Amino acid sequence: MIDHALNNNWDDRLLTGHSVIDAQHKSLFVLASYITHIEIEQASKSFAGEVLCQLADYAKDHFALEEYIMRVTKFPICAEHIVEHWDFIQRMASIIDRYERGNDGILLECRQFVSAWLENHISVSDMLLACHISGDVEFANELRQPDFLQNQKGVGDY
């Protein structure tokens, strides 16, 4: 996997076709890239904590929009998608808590987690939602194939 989020290197293959969702995804990549800059520039602890909180808060707002769209369009795997969002929120809360308790090394774990999660979640789960919205059943079925899923690294693989 290429660490697109680490370098704020947006990849158009992650476009869902929903302009608001795509713009928010790009903003999440920008926020994620700040984690790398914090490490390189050894930014102040307060600034780093602020970036982590901003990322978590922005993700919550983004998830609320996606979840609204899922409910309105009766997305059949809405519950599973929401669980992925919940897992991200919980993991970020844990990372922020550990960082605030003095674990500066958590930034590396955060960077790896966020990068992997964003790319994998958008390329599979959000694409399934996009296919549902657009009615592209053929591509949705392709995304669900085991050989496609095997080539995706899980968030815990990093």
The 10s digit of each residue's pLDDT in 43-97 is 677 888 899 999 999 999 999 999 999 999 899 999 999 999 999 999 999 999 9
pLDDT single digits (tens) 3-41: 444 455 678 888 998 889 999 999 998 888 888 778 766
Closest C-alpha among 131, 143, 122 to residue 12: 122
How many angstroms separate the first and last alpha carbons of the chain? 10
Q: What are phi and psi of 73, to 5 degrees?
A: -95, 5
Please say whether the beta carbons of 124 and 82 come within 8 A: no
User: Is residue 122 pLDDT above 60, yes or no?
Assistant: yes
- Nearest CA among 58, 53, 12 for reference residue 35: 53
Domain of residue 150, residue span: 5-157
The torsion defined by the Cα of 60, 65, 66 and 67, in degrees rounded to 10, comes to: 80
Quick one: pLDDT at residue 97?
95
CA–CA dist 8, 4 (Å, integer): 6
Q: What is the pTM of this model?
A: 0.80
Residue where the block lists tokens 């657009």: 134
Residue 101 is part of a domain; what is its CATH number?
A: 1.20.120.50
Q: Which two tokens stand for residue 35?
A: 């984690």
Q: Looking at residue 155, what is its pLDDT?
A: 39
Total domains in the fold of the chain: 1
